[in-house]
Amino acid sequence: MTSQAQRFLSRRDTIRSLCYSALTLLPFAGGRADETEGRTPEWLDQITREAPGNHANFRPVSLEYTLDWNHRINAGRVGLSIRKPSEKRNGQFVGDAAGQSTGFARFLYPYDFKAQSIVNQKTLRPVSFQLVENECGDENRYDVQFEKRRQIYSATSISKGKTYHKSGNFDFDCGYDALSSACYLRGRPLNEGETISMIVTPFNRPYFTTFTVTGREKHKVKSTTYAAIKLDAKVSKLNADLSLTSYEKVKKTTLWFSDDEYRIPLELQSQLAFGYVSARLDKLNWLE
């Protein structure tokens, strides 16, 4: 194993973000943002607020992704399912996800997570988001509730027998969780040159994210070649004073959706200083 591969596998934040990224095909890590009451940041004017439209068929589906480094070393797997609303949750999508580090990555860094997202079927806006993750024996729990003009979060960490808790709210009317952000993207026209900016909260901290549609192309994932829509993504940290800071650890992030009525997330690729990490579609099963 090369020294670069060992460096990749020894980075806890990289493996954690890679395992979790397949839920949305977005990478996130670090940063800090506090409550925003009474503040009006300039970047709010850049947020995309148009209705998503009917450009994607949200047929219930189960997806599995392989997570790797430079397409050489497997680092984890993630499974994701999107189901139609039950009688209890009429008018809402239910998304469930679970993932873990695998192989030598797991030997160095045991990591598992489970998440559930409730999304309004009509607007593709989030209703609630819960995430539980276990990192080397420590447990983190996140709960985010999305109201009309704000999102309320709570975070609980259990480490070495001690429990830490934090809660608060962000006064945004434009926040998305991990799954609903991907649903909103799939529902957009995704014409070449289109730019979509949104606030995404993958854990309990919001990030400013901009996607640019760079075009259509043939894209090979494993042994299958797809007609695909290609997007570049830029993620900025949201600081305590609501200023934005570039995410320097990632040089470039690209993602691909299938160019068909379903807009299935095919692959995420993030270029780092020591190579690139990928989340690639491995299995697809329609649930009905």
DSSP 41-106: -GGGGG---S---S-S----EEEEEEEEETTTEEEEEEEEEEE---STTTTEEEEEEEEEE-HHHH
pLDDT in tens, 21-56: 554 444 443 333 444 455 678 888 999 999 888 899
pLDDT in tens, 231-245: 999 988 888 788 888
| Cβ neighbours for 45, distance < 8 A, ≥ 6 positions apart | none
Place of tokens 């919001």: 206
The pair phi, psi for residue 161, each rounded to 5°, is 80, 0
pTM, two decimals, is 0.85
Taking only the tens of pLDDT, the chain with its 288 residues reads 555 555 555 555 555 655 555 544 444 433 334 444 556 788 889 999 998 888 999 999 999 999 988 778 888 999 999 987 666 667 788 999 999 999 888 888 899 999 999 999 888 999 999 999 998 889 999 999 999 888 898 999 999 889 999 998 888 888 898 888 999 999 999 999 999 999 988 877 788 999 999 999 999 998 999 999 999 999 888 887 888 888 777 778 899 999 999 999 999 998 877 778 889 999 999 998
If one counts every other C-beta atom within 10 angstroms of the C-beta of residue 50, the result is 9
Tokens of 165: 């808790």
Tokens of 112: 């598992």
